[in-house]
Chains A and B, each alone.
Chain A
Amino acid sequence: MRRLGLLLLTGSATLLVFGFWIPLKALLAQELLALAWAKSQAGQEVQRPWPWADTWPVARLAFPDLGQSLIVLEGGHGESLAFGPGRVPTGAAGPWIIAGHRDTHFRHLGELVPGSEVRLQGRDGQWRRFQVASTQVVDSRRAWIDPSRLPEHSLLLITCYPFDSFDSGGPLRYVVTAKPWPASGDPGDGPDDRVARL
């Protein structure tokens, strides 16, 4: 009986350690990445955050409404998503498609509403302002992204849906579409014509 309890205890503790390691890694990596990002900007060249990384920082993403700022990595594969949101390569300068884990970096993506501000800083140090145009849930089995059909100056943020699910392989995705901040006037006045809906 005692042995069983001990076994259960160690087993659960191990699970917990691994479970907490994932968000901890995500948190720590962002600190390291901030360093690499600063260097990238100073040197104007690709700087790998640690020598064996197969990804590198490409941008800084900020949600002023949520008080959150993240370093975006290159690539939408698991390797880069473990450390930060990843830019899905489209081969062109735009649109920007950024994916992130719903349990770590993009946990609060659901709090963005149409009209929220999103900022993106490229390697040139310039901040670009975007405005959330719409949010939607898509089924990744039936819908897919075609970058060539998105307006060039748009931003897509993708994470898994539902936010509180335990299923890490679910088919639903939460997609936030943002367009450039209207050049002048009130942010709410911008024409809504280039907003894509699913």
Chain B
Amino acid sequence: MILTTALLRLDPPATSAASPRWRRWLEGVTLWLAVLLMLFVHPLYAEADTRVSSDAGELRLYDDQGRHQDSALVLDSHVQVQVRGLIAEVRLHRRFRNVSGAWREGVFVFPLPKQATVHGLDMTVGERVIRGEVQPRAQARQAYQQARDSGRQAAAVEQQRPNLFTARVANIPPGGEVDLELRFQQRVRYTQGTFELRLPTTLTPRYMPGRPTGNEAPWQWQGGWARGTTAVPDAGAISPPTVAPSELPPGSHRVDIEVSLAAGVPLASVVSPSHPLDIRMDGTQALLRPAEGPVLMDRDFVLRWQPVPGRQPTAAVFHERFDGEDYLMAMVVPGNLEVPPLPRELMFVIDTSGSMAGESIRQARKALARGLDTLGRQDRFNIIQFNDRPSALFEHPVAADRDHLDRARRYLDRLQAEGGTEMAPALSRALSADSASGADRVRQVVFITDGAVGNEAALFQQIRQQLGDRRLFTVGIGSAPNLHFMREAARWGRGTYTAVAGPSDLEAPLQRLFAAMAAPVLTHLVADWPTPAAEAYPGRPGDLFQGEPLVQVVRGVPPRGRLHLSGSGPGGEPWQVAVDLSQAVPGVGLHRLWARARIDSLLDQARIEGVAPDQAAIVQLAMVHRLASPYTSFVAVDRTPVRAPQQPLLRTAVPTLVPAGSSAGMLRYPQTATVAPLLIALGTLGLMFAVALVLLQRRVGA
């Protein structure tokens, strides 16, 4: 630049009399601008080698010190769902593509539906399929590690939470790929005449309360993985690194979903509030997939279907024989019951922690506003918001008059999402607030949250202890709420769980929830099977709300005779119904449902009694029925080594996408740069060009 100005000077213009001084001045300005620009441009060079460089189709990650690790793994997913009646059988393919030049071990944490029962794992390497086996957890891990260290290809899938799994794939060759097929089944939800299937694809970053375990430095990360804390000992296993979609190579983290639906009832409509669908429907059958093809794994896939009006099922019975035993599943939907409404006391609890920031908090506010609308004149209410600590709108529950409701609405508008998710004190506050006037009222708690917590077990315990005669209803907000927490909290709280998928899906589910809350329930339900030795689950059916079905799975009952159900209605009047079991149609996978229910009940029992679960019984049950459980994992191991021992194996944690709509996990770093340097540099550069242009023009003109 200095050279340019020097050249300009070398050729002094001698024509115009007034212009030389003017031009000289301009040249001086240009020189200064040039120097200024140099100052600003200099950092551009300095920066060049620290920039993120990512070639298409290749994922580059930084390690703890901010250095990059070289290339990583790319992940493709393919989901095939087959729905038969009330059970969905899912085949989940995950393909790990190694685009780097080194041998890789891939680790991926992924969510599955809460009631998903994993019953198969296949690993495909090239043409060969290696069938996975179920083994006790420690044994499976050992088998996997031995295979990995000896250079053989291996895969393992471990259950971390009922809805959270870790997949490990060892010895993926450079440029090669390994395909995992995971098979699981899950029950379809049926409420208010609508069937619903939900497939999670990502998970909300979880808040880990408590102090870190071990005596390392008080605050540590392992490649972006949160470490164990006292309240959540396995934090390291359940918190993967999260990234935004823009930081991934194109084509990675997409899932191809295909659903074949055999509803068993004439279909009126099939819709998905989460994704636009491409549907072919024929009577009781339908074939469908997302219209856009492979969808980004940043939100749950939700599918709902409704039978033709008047053809909604009121009861269903399925039968299966497995290993010489009979298994039955029965579903009964009680009819409508009429009662006058009772005065209520409603406690709204809203999560305003950092994980709710963005779209989530807006939806939560809307959901709560909907709840306020349902309050009647004789009702009382209060609102509690919580992040690190709870705070209530009113000291005590107040009458739902216009003045109080107005104040509540203004309070809602001001709610901001920041901080941690300390749920325990908020629950305590909601469940312990007893007012003298509440005695003759129906007391209900509505809990609006994304459930991004890791210490679920302690919270369930707390709910059980403090509940009293209340009912706890959970409303799941955000595109990837922690379903396990929501469902279980509602179950322990004798309430229901409602999921809100997005702004467009807000009204209908909430309307159903608040209608059900205002409507009566069936209590003291008893299921009487014809065979005395029947082992039925759930052992003690929970209370039923309007439009909810009662579902039981049982072993050891042949499809003969009648199932008698009885209970008491809202006014205490007896209610009963009999189901003819000989009408049972064949079902698939009932034995797994039963085994899973039994495992869950063993775990629950241990939790209630505060003792360690009967591990041997669970392992045995899981081995017989070939299921993954907290104590059994799937492992697939190849026979022949493919990697020579001297070649190094690098470990890569495959990141999970940040759920859509949540602007940031609560522990994210803030944005700390402005566009000022860029603007100044561009402005200076432009100004220089402009002045140069003017100068040039004069020179040419002269």
Contacts and interface: CB of A to CB of B under 8 A. Distances in A.
Interface in A159-176: 159-173
B353 to A, nearest CB: 9
Interface string B658-700: 0000000101111111111111111111110111011001000
A136 B689 CA distance: 40
A28 interface: no
Contact of B670 (A16, A88, A146, A164): A88
Interface residues of A, number: 75
A144 B667 contact: yes
Contact of B389 (A91, A171, A198): A91
A153 to B, nearest CB: 12
A170 B677 CA distance: 14
Given A99-B670, A103-B673, A138-B66, A149 B212 contact: yes
A19 B687 contact: no
A166 B675 CA distance: 7
A103 B669 contact: no
Contacts of A92: 388
Contact of B686 (A15, A138, A169): A15
A99 B655 CA distance: 26
A104 B64 contact: no
B247 A195 contact: no
A76 interface: yes
Contacts of A173: 669, 672
A143 B64 contact: yes
B693 A1 contact: yes
Given A9-B687, A12-B682, A23-B676, A149 B693 contact: no
A171 B671 contact: no
B672 A106 contact: yes
Contacts of A170: 52, 673
A151 B387 CA distance: 20
A49 to B, nearest CB: 19
Contacts of B684: 12, 16
Most buried by A among B51, B208, B217: B217
Nearest to A4: B693
B440 to A, nearest CB: 37
Interface string B412-428: 00000011100000000
B224 to A, nearest CB: 3
A101 B66 CA distance: 20
Given A103-B676, A168-B675, A140 B686 contact: no
B64 A101 contact: no
B679 A16 contact: yes
Interface string B331-355: 0000000000000000000000000
Given A12-B683, A168-B674, A143 B224 contact: yes
Contacts of A78: 671
A14 B223 CA distance: 43
Contacts of B220: 149, 196-198
Contacts of A16: 679-680, 683-684, 687
A145 interface: yes
Contact of A19 (B44, B244, B683): B683
Instruction: Categorize the interface residue count of chain B.
Output: 35 or more
A155 interface: no
Contacts of B126: none
A162 B47 contact: yes
A147 B671 CA distance: 18
Interface string B41-67: 011101100111000000001101110
A196 B219 contact: yes
B693 A147 contact: no
Given A18-B679, A140-B668, A144-B669, A171 B52 contact: yes
Contact of A158 (B210, B419, B672, B677): B672
A80 to B, nearest CB: 10
A27 B46 CA distance: 27
Given A16-B687, A81-B670, A148-B420, A164 B46 contact: yes
A15 B683 CA distance: 5
B693 A158 contact: no
Nearest to A9: B690
Contacts of B388: 90-92
A147 B672 CA distance: 19
Contacts of B466: none
B670 A76 contact: yes
Contacts of A100: 672
Nearest to B239: A144
A146 B388 CA distance: 12
B694 to A, nearest CB: 6
A195 B667 CA distance: 19
Contacts of A22: 674-676, 679
Nearest to A197: B217
A102 B220 CA distance: 25
A77 B387 contact: no
Contact of A166 (B44, B665, B669): B44
Nearest to A138: B66
A136 B65 contact: yes
A176 to B, nearest CB: 12
B210 A148 contact: yes
B673 A141 contact: no
Contacts of A89: 418-419
Nearest to B681: A166
A192 B684 CA distance: 47
Nearest to B215: A193
B267 interface: no
B209 interface: yes
A52 interface: no
A54 to B, nearest CB: 10
B677 A103 contact: yes
Most buried by B among A5, A23, A148: A148
26 contacts: A5-B690, A5-B694, A9-B687, A15-B683, A19-B676, A20-B680, A89-B419, A101-B674, A103-B673, A103-B677, A139-B224, A141-B224, A141-B241, A141-B244, A143-B224, A144-B665, A148-B210, A148-B211, A149-B218, A149-B220, A168-B675, A169-B671, A171-B247, A196-B217, A197-B220, A198-B64
- Identify the 9 closest CB pairs spanning chains A and B, nearest first: A91-B388, A12-B686, A164-B43, A19-B679, A142-B224, A16-B683, A15-B683, A144-B667, A19-B680
Given A81-B670, A138-B669, A196-B220, 16 more contacts: A8-B686, A19-B677, A19-B681, A22-B676, A101-B672, A104-B676, A139-B62, A142-B243, A149-B211, A149-B219, A149-B220, A149-B229, A158-B670, A160-B671, A168-B673, A198-B221
Interface of B: 42-44, 46-47, 50-52, 61-62, 64-66, 205, 208-212, 217-221, 223-224, 226, 229, 241-244, 247, 387-389, 418-420, 655, 665, 667-687, 689-691, 693-694, 697
Interface of A: 1-2, 4-6, 8-9, 11-20, 22-23, 75-78, 81-82, 86, 88-92, 99-104, 106, 136-151, 158-173, 194-198
